[in-house]
Structure 1
Amino acid sequence: MAFNTSVVTNQTRSTSNTSFCPGLADFSLGYRLVHGYVSLVVCLFGSVANSLNIAVLTRREMTSPTNALLTGLAVADLLVMLEYIPFACHMYMPQGAWRSATDRYSYPWAAFVLFHSNFAQVCHTVSIWLTVTLAVWRYIAVAHPQRNREWCCMKTTIAAIVSAYIVSPLLCIPLFLAFSIHPKNAAVDKYGQIVRTSKDMGDAKNMTLYIVNISELGKANGNLLSHINFWVYSVVIKLMPCAALTELSRRLICALLQTKRRRQQLTSGSARVLDKQRQTDRTTRMLLAVLLLFLLTEFPQGILGLLSVWFGENFFKNCYQKLGEVMDILALINSAINFILYCTMSRQFRSTFSLLFRPSMFDRWLLVPQHNENVDNNGCTTANNMTLVTQV
């Protein structure tokens, strides 16, 4: 039960017998065979990449409100990656498929699956709202630079990060209450596998297995809590942030184009002013890439969730659930790829990363200092300006 498919397991809204997404069943079964391997590769890379992000972004020379938000985002993404690894091993890897049913559906594993669905959703919600905050901060920096230091100072930024980590679990309360662990009697053969048909009964024994399903509270009042949970997930957690990011991204792109036109008119402007404008453009482009990548992975999930509420159980089972692993891997890739974006688009990030992780043996091959560099009393060279191009 992946974090973006664990929102609901049953919808009771009546619907016609129309079968939605008839071609997805074979695709879902085929991709499920490789999802465990793909997700493990992405999670291992993402865990290392987000750890490196945290190490670089928390350096003193990288201190800024934007970098603080990126650090909070990297922590949330790292937690998602680390937690998904044992889940993928348990649910998708071959050794999980061939373990006995009593092992795979034991109470401890059911408790872990329930924890996974709750914990991963909370961390991903934190990531979503920090991404929205990042877009707001960048828009203020571009559209209202005179108010940027006042509105987006470090104190306000820390408060926004803490709020995201506090409010996100509160938004997920319907999820916590809507699911619980249920015992289920099933016939298990001598190899520990669940017997599906009566002709295979043989020496099968009835055993108690444990699964995660909708709770009694979730079923009460016509599945009211489950419906609330689904609306919160699809609208509040997915579509509202996507709508906000779409509008903010549009405004940022317009601001970039306006700045480019203004720079073309400032042919007589000082080199310092033009260089600072280029720095702002590069940072805005990098953050736009982060926002657009987020939209590509989150917006389809919100739409599918909303359609599941509208069309009911038929659509949910035949479309949403069949795409569950695909949506999982897209979300995991989104959480893992920011390191590549930073390295590609931020010279300061690359420089700080190089200084932090470069082997000392490479120092002997560094270039001889140029005349425009200063030499301190200890004979060490220092550049006139230690800030390297892009302030991430």
Structure 2
Amino acid sequence: MNHSLAHCGARLRLWSEAYHPVHLYASLLVCVFGSVANSLNIAVLTRREMSSPTNAILTGLAVADLLVMLEYIPFTAQAFLPQEQRLSYGWALFVLFHSHFAQVCHTVAIWLTVILAVWRYLAVVHPQRSREWCGARTTAAAIAAAYLASPLLCVPLYLAFDVSARGLGRATQYRVGLSALAERRVLGELSLRQLNFWVYSVAIKIIPCAALTVLSLRLVCALLETKKRRLQLAGGRNKQLAGKERQTDRTTRMLLAVLLLFLITEFPQGILGLLSVFLGEAFFSSCYVPLGELMDILALVNSAVNFILYCSMSRQFRATFSQVFRPRLLRRPAVPPPSGATNTQVTQV
């Protein structure tokens, strides 16, 4: 029996080979769109009128997603290069850099999403205290921590893979593969290769997904409680409070959509990585590798669609986007607010 086909069979391998040419063009389209979309996100979210802790986190998320998109475009271009160039030492080094850089940026995005969920939960459940707990300095420190800790979390990945050379006649081919350290025991009976899968599947995927699941459920419960409380409100003052709560609800729903997209794309990857630890090389070769490009395109789509979510679910984002990018001749003259109205907002997204 062929052990490389022991778990998922030959059909998945055949499907992977058929999907490969589709993936090349699909990923290029998604990356080009995502690069433009995340650039627009950054341009809008960094406006002074959009200044808030939540939008600072969304800006950090957009930067990480933009880096993933920009770097993935030349990686995809390898399919259109001559075979000799794709097997050169320089290109192998770039592929190695790609695997490290993309994983680090994606890890940053994952943990920023967790921070976003925590900040949103505190804003909904503890609106008064959250202004102190989630202020500008705390938010900046949390974003910096995500960007600084993620490269450290990926250290096992750096050590587990390297460029290897293989002589073929007079020519030498270079490919990215397991390093000489990959099978060395680092923690008891745990090899570096296994440690890398544990870090990838548990610390980078499953733990953040579990945290997002719990926080998302708590946010949904908080939304239902807020809706019930709003129905009990009456009087002019309470109507004003209800309007602020409706704004908070819209923001929370939009961020819940962002969180759910992350769960849909990240949780299956964590499960597959964990199964690769327990079931070994046979599962990794027959299941994980054939699904690699599918997981890539899902992650890319997830990194590209936030702009669509913001435009469809955030009135303030649409208004600011229109103000920044609409030609001056098409802009409507500003209408002064009615007397007694204020511009204070509970949240800004």
Cα RMSD, aligned residues only: 2.0
The alignment status of 1:19 with 2:13, answered yes or no, reads no
Equivalent in 202, 209, 214 of residue 247 of structure 1: 214
Asked if the contact 1:79/1:123 (under 8 Å) is kept, the reply is yes
Give the residue type in structure 1 aligned to 2:58.
L
How far off its partner does 1:271 sit? 2.2
Q: Which structure 2 residues correspond to residues 66-77 of structure 1 after superposition, within 5 A? A: 66-77=54-65
Alpha-carbon separation, structure 2, partners of 1:17 and 1:48: 40
Equivalent in 191, 198, 210 of residue 224 of structure 1: 191
Alpha-carbon separation, structure 2, partners of 1:237 and 1:289: 20
Query: Structure 1 pair 168/369, CA: closer, same or farther in 2 (3 Å)?
Result: closer
Q: Which structure 2 residues correspond to residues 246-325 of structure 1 after superposition, within 5 A? A: 246-268=213-235, 270-325=238-293
TM-score normalised to the size of structure 1? 0.84
The alignment status of 1:138 with 2:126, answered yes or no, reads no
Asked if the contact 2:51/2:348 (under 8 Å) is kept, the reply is no
Asked if the contact 1:348/1:388 (under 8 Å) is kept, the reply is no
How far off its partner does 1:389 sit? 9.2
In structure 2, the partner of 1:190 is: none
The alignment status of 1:37 with 2:25, answered yes or no, reads yes
Deviations 1:211-250 (A, max 9, x none): 1111111122377111111100000000000000000000
Alpha-carbon separation, structure 1, partners of 2:140 and 2:308: 25
In structure 1, the partner of 2:316 is: 348
Alpha-carbon separation, structure 2, partners of 1:126 and 1:245: 15
Alpha-carbon separation, structure 1, partners of 2:47 and 2:308: 18
How far off its partner does 1:33 sit? 1.3
In structure 2, the partner of 1:207 is: 171
In structure 1, the partner of 2:41 is: 53
How far off its partner does 1:386 sit? 4.5
Asked if the contact 1:348/1:389 (under 8 Å) is kept, the reply is no
In structure 2, the partner of 1:181 is: 163
Give the residue type in structure 2 aligned to 1:20.
H
**Worse overlay, 20-29 or 293-302:** 20-29
Alpha-carbon separation, structure 1, partners of 2:347 and 2:316: 5
Percent sequence identity over aligned pairs: 63
**Worse overlay, 159-168 or 212-221:** 212-221
| Count of aligned residue pairs for this structure pair | 343
Alpha-carbon separation, structure 2, partners of 1:125 and 1:85: 19
Alpha-carbon separation, structure 2, partners of 1:349 and 1:276: 17
Query: Structure 1 pair 368/287, CA: closer, same or farther in 2 (3 Å)?
Result: closer
Asked if the contact 1:347/1:389 (under 8 Å) is kept, the reply is no
TM-score normalised to the size of structure 2? 0.94
In structure 2, the partner of 1:235 is: 202
How far off its partner does 1:48 sit? 0.3
In structure 2, the partner of 1:82 is: 70
**Worse overlay, 126-135 or 269-278:** 269-278
Deviations 1:190-217 (A, max 9, x none): xxxxxxxxxxxxxxx4311111111111
The alignment status of 1:329 with 2:305, answered yes or no, reads no
Alpha-carbon separation, structure 1, partners of 2:263 and 2:301: 13
Asked if the contact 2:233/2:239 (under 8 Å) is kept, the reply is no
Runs of 4+ aligned structure 1 residues displaced above 3 Å come to 15-18, 367-370, 383-390
How far off its partner does 1:25 sit? 1.2
* Larger Rg belongs to: 1
Deviations 1:47-74 (A, max 9, x none): 0000000000000000000000000000
In structure 1, the partner of 2:88 is: 106
**Worse overlay, 152-161 or 221-230:** 221-230
SS at 1:216's partner residue?
coil
Asked if the contact 1:347/1:390 (under 8 Å) is kept, the reply is no
Which segments of 5 or more consecutive residues in structure 1 lack a partner in the other structure? 1-14, 187-204, 375-382
Alpha-carbon separation, structure 2, partners of 1:310 and 1:225: 15
Deviations 1:230-285 (A, max 9, x none): 10000000000000000000000000001001111113352210110101101100
Asked if the contact 1:125/1:237 (under 8 Å) is kept, the reply is yes
In structure 2, the partner of 1:202 is: none
Equivalent in 111, 118, 122 of residue 104 of structure 2: 122
The alignment status of 1:64 with 2:46, answered yes or no, reads no
Query: Structure 1 pair 124/369, CA: closer, same or farther in 2 (3 Å)?
Result: closer
In structure 2, the partner of 1:195 is: none
